[in-house]
Structure 1
Amino acid sequence: MAHEETVTDVAEAARRARFGTLPERVRLADTVEEKPATVQDPARNDYNDDEWLVRNVV
């Protein structure tokens, strides 16, 4: 019977070592990651509405 008690004591000690304390709290601000939704397109602003006005001037 003593052997069974030591086995359960060892198992209980292992459980307490693993699950005996709650994990550390995580702040809500640490759970948010901010990054742009899309990559900036360098050609996005290359179009000039008034380019046709100066293109044919000689």
Structure 2
Amino acid sequence: MSDKGTADTAAAARHARFGKLPERIRYEDMTEEREATPNGGNGVSYNPEGSWQYFSCLALDLGL
């Protein structure tokens, strides 16, 4: 008998917590519009001569 009461109490607690869906969020609240900057906003320019430093290459690691 006590198992049924415990199960009903647990079911009632779950239903009170998860029994309904959360409030709907409008699409306008999920998006943000900002002005785009030419360099992506990070202030770092691309350096083609130094780009090899950021990639791992097995041939370079072995000195080939």
Correspondences of 1:20-31 after superposition (within 5 Å): 20-31=19-30
**In structure 1, what is the equivalent of residue 2 of structure 2?**
3
Correspondences of 1:1-58 after superposition (within 5 Å): 2-38=1-37, 39=41
**In structure 1, what is the equivalent of residue 62 of structure 2?**
none
Give the TM-score normalised by structure 1.
0.55
- Could you tell me the percent identity over the aligned residues? 49
Output the amino acid matched with 1:15: R
Output the amino acid matched with 1:7: T
5+ unaligned residues in a row in structure 2: which ranges?
A: 44-64
CA RMSD of aligned residues (A): 1.8
Deviations 1:19-54 (A, max 9, x none): 111110111111001233445x8xxxxxxxxxxxxx
Distance 1:37 1:11 in 2: 52
SS at match of 1:34: coil
Output the amino acid matched with 2:12: A
Q: Which has the larger radius of gyration?
A: 1
Bigger relative contact order (CA 8 A; separation at least 6) = 2
